[in-house]
């Protein structure tokens, strides 16, 4: 017996077949898209992870300066990792570039040295066969390296020592002053030569542009002048150098972040705030109530070759002064070669350094150092007299320095990330 089917039934069957085919095709496309997205996501995550490996490799290995190296991944040929190392002021600048096929990821950071987990140094006073003399409300907290002749109390203008202990921490014998990493010293020595290797497109005119931001992934920008530069109402951020052949003055109306200032003389007026590095060869004055956030650096290098002739023509010893009420979070460094009995560095009353102070000459401490202080000697200028190796009312306390602090690199010190760049 034969049954007659209506024509509409055949159409309905064809409709069902088409719908099923579309659903199957959509399902196959969905699976393919999911797998592709999964692979791409995996490559993205791996690319970022490899960039982190590049930074870690730079922390653990002494890479050639100003050179890009290929890090072996022991993986497929389409995966590469390159690391470049140079300097931004006193900090290493490391760039890690990871690539997988057409995906690439860059990571950049400032690198310094971490403090040892135990026995962080509060004070290292170079041994010149003179005792350390503490007077007034001086307080030294932490591991202290002092000369063979030890530490004793003194008296200045009728003021004796008022503490219960001479040193609030372990005492060890000092020798020669620890030496900064040779790469750091080289960077400081050559800091003034940055403008030589740039082209005309990298120079900026702050007379025309008062606000400028430059990523560290872009070429360096420089504002250079043979005469005095006064930064007033200027806002600068990032990969920028401001350099004068004579003097730079920064007014409180200016906002500087991560930039570098270079000149024989640099003066920060009252109330300057920011986060930057300054390098001078003759004089640095940080006026009252300035605030430089971490990781800032103040460096006076007397032996810098860009202006040594001008230094030799001066009768006054180069000096670095941080005045009352100012707070510096980072590094304060004095590198000199003129030996005399004056204080080349002055940390005034109510001035605070949170970080490290390194002076290979003489230093007068009236304020506070919350961190580590390395110096060849102390001078206390009171009542018209200069007292050698005396600290009068100064404070050094390593316990008030955050354990995460990353600062100056010494020979064989452990490296860490001071700041991620943008």
Out of 56, 83, 113, a domain closes at 113
Assess whether 247 and 277 both reside in one domain: yes
Assess whether 272 and 231 both reside in one domain: yes
Residue 411: closest CA among 169, 214, 184, 97: 184
Tokens for 400?
Answer: 């008030």
Q: Tell me, what DSSP letter sits at residue 255?
A: E
Assess whether 294 and 335 both reside in one domain: yes
Assess whether 24 and 159 both reside in one domain: no
Evaluate whether residue 418 is within a structural domain.
Answer: no
Residue 138: closest CA among 371, 395, 399: 395
Evaluate whether residue 180 is within a structural domain.
Answer: yes
User: What pLDDT does 103 receive?
Assistant: 86
Evaluate whether residue 407 is within a structural domain.
Answer: no
Out of 78, 113, 148, a domain closes at 113
Evaluate whether residue 414 is within a structural domain.
Answer: no
Assess whether 54 and 126 both reside in one domain: no
User: What pLDDT does 27 receive?
Assistant: 79
Evaluate whether residue 417 is within a structural domain.
Answer: no
The number of angstroms, rounded, from the C-alpha of 319 to the middle of its chain's C-alpha atoms is: 22
Tokens for 299?
Answer: 């460096």
User: What pLDDT does 390 receive?
Assistant: 97
User: What pLDDT does 383 receive?
Assistant: 87
- The percent helix, strand, coil of the chain (3-state, each to 5) is 20, 45, 35
Residues in the chain: 422
Strand 235-238, strand 390-392: pairing: unpaired
User: What pLDDT does 2 receive?
Assistant: 55
Total tally of structural domains belonging to the chain: 2
Assess whether 173 and 79 both reside in one domain: no
Evaluate whether residue 255 is within a structural domain.
Answer: yes
Assess whether 294 and 382 both reside in one domain: yes
Assess whether 202 and 82 both reside in one domain: no
**Nearest-angstrom CA–CA distance, 224 and 246:** 11
Assess whether 232 and 304 both reside in one domain: yes
Evaluate whether residue 298 is within a structural domain.
Answer: yes
User: What pLDDT does 308 receive?
Assistant: 43
**Nearest-angstrom CA–CA distance, 353 and 322:** 9
Evaluate whether residue 317 is within a structural domain.
Answer: yes
Assess whether 167 and 259 both reside in one domain: yes
Q: Are 388 and 130 in contact (CB under 8 A)?
A: yes
- If you compute the radius of gyration of the chain from its CA atoms, what whole number of angstroms results? 30
Q: What is the pLDDT along the chain (422 residues), one digit of tens a residue?
A: 555 556 566 677 777 888 888 888 777 887 777 666 656 676 788 899 999 999 999 999 989 888 899 998 877 778 899 999 999 999 999 999 999 988 899 999 999 999 888 889 999 999 999 999 999 999 999 999 999 999 999 999 999 999 999 999 999 999 999 999 999 999 999 998 876 778 889 999 988 889 999 999 999 999 999 999 999 999 999 999 999 999 999 999 999 999 999 999 999 999 999 999 999 999 999 999 999 999 999 999 996 443 444 444 444 678 999 999 999 999 999 999 877 889 999 999 999 999 999 999 999 999 999 999 999 999 999 988 999 999 999 999 999 999 999 999 998 899 999 999 99
Beta bridge partners of 248: 229, 266
Residue whose entry in the numeric block shows the structure tokens 């202006």: 307
Question: In which element (H, E) is residue 236 found?
Answer: strand 235-238
User: What pLDDT does 151 receive?
Assistant: 97
| Structural domain boundaries enclosing 35 | 8-113
Assess whether 51 and 197 both reside in one domain: no
Out of 79, 113, 147, a domain closes at 113
Assess whether 125 and 195 both reside in one domain: yes
**Nearest-angstrom CA–CA distance, 46 and 101:** 12
């Amino acid at each position: 017996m034969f049954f007659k089917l209506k024509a509409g039934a055949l159409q309905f069957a064809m409709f069902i077949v088409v719908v099923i085919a579309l659903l199957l095709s959509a399902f196959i496309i969905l699976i393919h898209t999911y797998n592709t997205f999964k692979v791409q996501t995996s490559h993205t995550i791996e690319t970022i992870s490899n960039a982190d490996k590049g930074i870690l490799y730079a922390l653990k290995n002494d890479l050639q300066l100003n050179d890009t190296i290929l890090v072996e991944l022991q993986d497929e040929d389409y995966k590469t990792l390159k690391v470049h190392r140079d300097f931004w002021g006193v900090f290493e600048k490391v760039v890690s570039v990871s690539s997988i096929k057409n995906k690439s990821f860059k990571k950049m950071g400032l690198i310094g040295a971490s403090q040892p987990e135990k026995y962080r140094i509060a004070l290292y006073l170079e041994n010149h066969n003179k005792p350390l003399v503490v007077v007034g409300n001086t307080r030294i907290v932490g591991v202290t390296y002092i000369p063979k002749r030890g530490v004793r109390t003194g008296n200045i203008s009728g003021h004796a020592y008022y503490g219960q202990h001479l040193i609030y921490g372990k005492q060890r014998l000092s020798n020669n002053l620890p030496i900064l990493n040779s790469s750091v010293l080289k960077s400081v020595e050559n800091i003034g030569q940055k403008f030589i290797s740039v082209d005309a497109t990298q120079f900026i005119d702050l007379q025309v542009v008062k606000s400028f931001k430059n990523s560290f992934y872009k070429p360096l920008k420089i504002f250079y002048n043979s005469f005095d530069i006064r930064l007033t109402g200027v806002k600068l951020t990032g990969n920028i150098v401001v350099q004068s052949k004579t003097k730079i003055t920064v007014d409180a109306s200016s906002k500087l972040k991560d930039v570098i200032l270079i000149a024989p003389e640099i003066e920060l007026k009252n109330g300057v705030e920011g986060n930057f590095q300054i390098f001078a060869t003759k004089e640095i004055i940080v006026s009252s109530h300035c605030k430089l956030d971490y990781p800032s650096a103040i460096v006076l290098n007397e032996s810098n070759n860009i202006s040594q002739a001008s230094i030799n023509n001066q009768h006054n010893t180069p000096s670095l002064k941080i005045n009352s009420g100012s707070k510096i979070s980072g590094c304060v460094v004095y590198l000199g070669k003129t030996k005399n009995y004056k204080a080349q560095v002055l940390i005034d009353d109510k001035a605070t350094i949170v970080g490290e102070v390194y002076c290979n000459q003489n230093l007068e401490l009236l304020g506070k150092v919350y961190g580590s202080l390395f110096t060849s000697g102390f001078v206390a200028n009171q009542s018209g007299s200069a007292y050698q190796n005396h600290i009068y009312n100064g404070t050094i306390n390593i316990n008030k320095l955050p354990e995460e602090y990353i600062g100056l690199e010494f020979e064989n010190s452990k490296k860490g990330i001071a700041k991620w760049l943008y």
